[in-house]
């Protein structure tokens, strides 16, 4: 699965041995566990499940400094943020990550895992959402009177 406009390029890169494209996967954990870092240079994004899942598995992240991506990264601690559409900076950051020691890369992943537990705990997110709804309803009630 990929957008049709990328089909030719993906097949070309596969044929050249530059990438391995695995298509849509129901079970992504094996792919995350084989990686030291997940790179998602997005131009626009909703809240990125890829980044949340990867960080939850203890992987460092490199992604664009845009809404939907930046919330998953503690810049310089659990990964790196890059300006959107800046391929030179992306390359520099990827090179910086590659040059970290194995212990430093692993430590980044651990920080990311802790960040996921703290910021995206399901019970906490649900409680905050319910609080917002309740506050909005009370506010709307008083405004409407």
Write out pLDDT tens, residues 58-117.
Answer: 999 999 999 999 999 999 999 999 999 999 999 999 999 999 999 999 999 999 999 999
pLDDT at 38 over 90: yes
The encoded tokens of residue 131 equal: 């609080």
Distance between start and end Cα atoms, the chain:
52
Q: Is 80:59 a contact under the CB 8 Å cutoff? A: no
Residues 6+ apart with CB under 8 A from 116: 52, 55, 56, 72
Written as one string, the DSSP assignment of 45-87 is -SS-HHHHHHHHTT-EEEEESSTTTGGG--BTTTEEEE-TT-H
At 129 the pLDDT is 83
What is the side-by-side order of every strand in the sheet holding 79-82?
37-40, 60-64, 79-82
What is the pTM (predicted TM-score) of this model?
0.81
Residue 77 burial (CB count, 10 A): 14
């Amino acid at each position: 699965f990929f957008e049709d406009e990328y089909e030719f390029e993906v097949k070309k890169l596969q044929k050249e041995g530059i990438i391995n494209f695995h298509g849509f996967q129901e079970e992504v954990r094996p792919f995350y566990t084989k990686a030291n870092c997940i790179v998602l240079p997005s131009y626009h994004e909703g809240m990125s499940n890829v980044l949340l899942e990867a960080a939850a598995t203890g992987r460092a992240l490199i992604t664009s400094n845009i809404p939907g991506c930046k919330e998953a990264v503690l810049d310089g601690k659990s990964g790196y943020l890059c300006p959107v559409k800046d391929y030179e900076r992306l390359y520099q950051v990827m090179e910086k990550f590659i040059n970290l020691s194995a212990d430093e890369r692993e430590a980044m992943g651990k920080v990311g895992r802790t960040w996921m537990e703290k910021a995206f705990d399901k019970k906490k997110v649900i409680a905050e959402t319910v609080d917002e709804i309740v506050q909005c309803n009370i506010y709307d009630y008083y405004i409407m009177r």
